Each structure stands twice: as structure tokens, then as C-alpha cells.
Amino acid sequence: MGITKQNVAGGGGNSSGVEVMPDMYSASLSMYAASLQKPPVAPAAGGFIKISRRKLLKNLEVNSAERISSWVDSMKASSPTHVKAAPRSLTEDHSSSWMLHHPSALDMFEQIIDASQGKQIVMFLDYDGTLSPIVDDPDQAFMSKQMRATVKKLARCFPTAIVSGRCRDKVYSFVRLGELYYAGSHGMDIKGPAKGSKYKKGDQSVLFQPASEFLPMIDEVYKKLVEKTKSTPGAKVENNKFCVSVHFRRVDEKEWTELAQQVRSVIKEYPELRLTQGRKVLEIRPTIKWDKGKALEFLLESLGFANCTNVFPVYIGDDRTDEDAFKILRDRGQGFGILVSKFPKETNASYSLQEPEEVMNFLRRLVEWKRLNI
């Protein structure tokens, strides 16, 4: 039970040429074991995951009007479209008090640098909405050349990882920088630098996939969701390998309830899967306790900072799924999170930046500072 060869690719000569270092392997084992509340029986062997009665009831409580309407409320909350409609003074009061608690990382740059003194900065970057603007078509979410050049320079100064909900291949096709760590599918698909990183250990790269036994199920759900959501104009289903995303960036708000019902009707058959929400996206993924926060810890460990006090992780992200990582940093009391948002939101991040443009400026300042202080 627990980890199998499937979960960790490596051990020499596989087709992708990817290997796992011995210490990585045991780190993976312990992380994996600790991350599972109840280890899954591989579906391939005809088993299914035991879930608590409460969870099961919750999952079976489908299509009830109340449940769907709370989904839609949550979709609205994580994808604000009406903030400007609030009374101006109220919005301003709220914003200024929020900014007091989550000041701009650009304004606080000196303090941030002071806090990192004597420690190794490690950078974690979400992709959509952080390095690239949120656009209507998720396939067109390109990052600018300037942003790519900035991230390239950043990776020369600090170990740098991209942590995204998208599948790893997809996010790599946008970023195209071989020297970074990539954690795709919310960290369920992690790969170390292919080339040219001074932070890479030896000739070996890391590949870690804690949910590989779910692949056939995810594929099946993807196909069903494509079929089911066909009738909702603008809905786009994306197979992210270890999770399925249903983008509603282009769906009229009047159709959100209908879309929520369609998604619900598919996933009610799969108690092994759960639904999470991001900005204009519903995401369906395995119930294993693995998220961007776990990915962050795993990466810190694989970079050799498992129990170090002299590490300073900085995580920049824009949506709810990034909160798991912000929370880990808060709990560890190491480094901090930066939320990318124009609107006040409840967050575990310490600082804020308004948009990808500001993220780029912040990263540039880090690079400049590092160059002056080598």
C-alpha cells in the first residue's frame, strides 16, 4: 500500500531519462506517506478509495438546489466581476484597510530584503494570472517576452519553480525555460530542471507523481465533462493530466448555475475525486491530500532545505489554490506569500501585487539586488 513504482519514476534508464536520487526517493516516500489520510487502493486493481461517511454523504448530496447555489456563490466569490458596483466609499475603506495588512511587495521591497538577509531565497511562481494575464481563451495565456527574460534571469539568481494547476507539459509550453523546476497539476506532477540550473544536483533530475494511479479515471472524467458541458456556450474543459479544469472565463454569468449542475452530475459518480475552485475555473482532482503547499514543501526538501532555518521561500500566486502554499509559509514562519490581486481577498499571503506587470517589476528588483550583492 502507499507508494509504488508508479508514484515515483526513476531508478535509472527509463524512457524519459529521468531519475530520482536515492535521498529524493526516501524523501518522496515519507512525504507521500504523511500526505495521505487514507492510502488509496489502486483503482487499476479494481479497488476504490475508502472515504469517510461524512465525505461520502457530501459527495452524494448532488443536484440539490442549495448545494448548486452555494457552488455558484463560491464561483462568484473567487471570480469577482462586480466589485466596481459596490459603493465607492465602502470599497475604498475596505481596500485601504486590506492594503494595510497586505501592503504592496514593491513598496515593502527593502523590508523584504532585510528579512531575507543571510538566507537562501527560493522562488515559487504560479503561472496564470501571475506571470501571464488572465485571458478569455486559456490556450492563449501567453507570457510576454519581457516576463520570460525576467524569469530566466531570476532563475540564475535563485532556485525557481513554477507551480501551476495546469498540466506540466502545457505550462512548460508557455514558459519554455529548461532551467526551472515545474510542478504541474497543482503539484501532482513535479519535474526538476532539464538543463542549465546551478541548483540542479548532479546529472539527475527529479520526477514525482503522487497520484499516477488516478490517470485513467481523470481521462474518463475529462471525456464525460467535454460531452456534458457541450451545451454551455463558452465552457472549456482542459485535461491537466492529474486534474480536469472546467474554465468558465467565457461563460455568461447567467449560465453558471447550469454549468455547475453539469459538472456536478458527472463527478457525483466519482467519490474519489473532489472539486476545488480557482479564478474562473472549476477543478476536479483526486482526493489525495496533495496541493500546491505540499508541492512547495516537497520542492524545498528536494533542494536540500528540508530542515533548514536559513531558507527564505517566496511564493507568488493569484488564486485560492495558491492559499495552500501561502499557509504553509505562514505556518513554517519562513519566507512569505504574495497575492496577485487588484481586489481585497481573504488570504494567507503577507504582501500583494496588483497584476503580472507588477510581478515582473518585483522580480526585476530581486535580480538587480542580487547582482549588486554578490
278 with 127: CB under 8 angstroms? no
Q: How far is the CB of 279 from Mg ion (least distance, A)?
A: 6
The residue among 20 and 183 lying less far from Mg ion, judged by its C-beta, is: 183
CA dihedral 352, 355, 73, 326 (to 10 degrees): -40
Contacts of 367 (CB under 8 A, 6+ apart): 150, 153, 154, 157
Name the residues annotated as catalytic. Answer: 126
Burial of 166 (0-12, 13-18, 19+ CB in 10 A): buried
Nearer of residues 163 and 311 to Mg ion, judged by Cβ: 163
Report, in Å, the least distance between residue 259 CB and Mg ion: 20
Per the DSSP assignment, residues forming a β-bridge with 277 are 282
Q: How far is the CB of 340 from Mg ion (least distance, A)?
A: 8
Pick the closer one to Mg ion by CB: 266 or 328: 328
> Scanning the structure block, which residue is given the C-alpha cell 460531452?
227
Task: Find out whether 266 and 77 touch, Cβ atoms under 8 Å.
Answer: no
Interface residues toward Mg ion, by CB under 5 A: 126, 128-129, 318-319
Q: Cβ distance 262 to 300 under 8 Å?
A: no
Phi and psi angles of residue 304, each rounded to the nearest 5 degrees, phi first: 90, 20
Q: Output the nine-digit C-alpha cell for 362.
A: 518585483
Nearer CB in complex with Mg ion: 294/320: 320
Distance of closest approach, residue 317 Cβ to Mg ion, in angstroms: 6
Q: How far is the CB of 6 from Mg ion (least distance, A)?
A: 28
What is the pairing mode between strands 236-239 and 244-247? Answer: antiparallel
Residue 132: strand pairing partners: 128
166/228 with CB nearer Mg ion: 166
Q: How far is the CB of 15 from Mg ion (least distance, A)?
A: 31
Which of 186, 241 has the CB closer to Mg ion?
A: 186
Helices 22-35 and 292-302: angle between axes, nearest 10 degrees: 150
**E strand spans, the chain:** 120-125, 160-163, 181-184, 189-191, 207-208, 236-239, 244-247, 273-278, 281-286, 311-317, 336-340, 351-353
Backbone phi, then psi, for 246, in 5-degree steps?
A: -115, 105
Smallest gap, in angstroms, from Cβ of residue 319 to Mg ion?
A: 5
Q: Which residues pair with 105 in a beta bridge?
A: none
CB atoms within 10 A of CB 15: 6
User: Of the two residues 129 and 356, which places its CB atom closer to Mg ion in the complex?
Assistant: 129
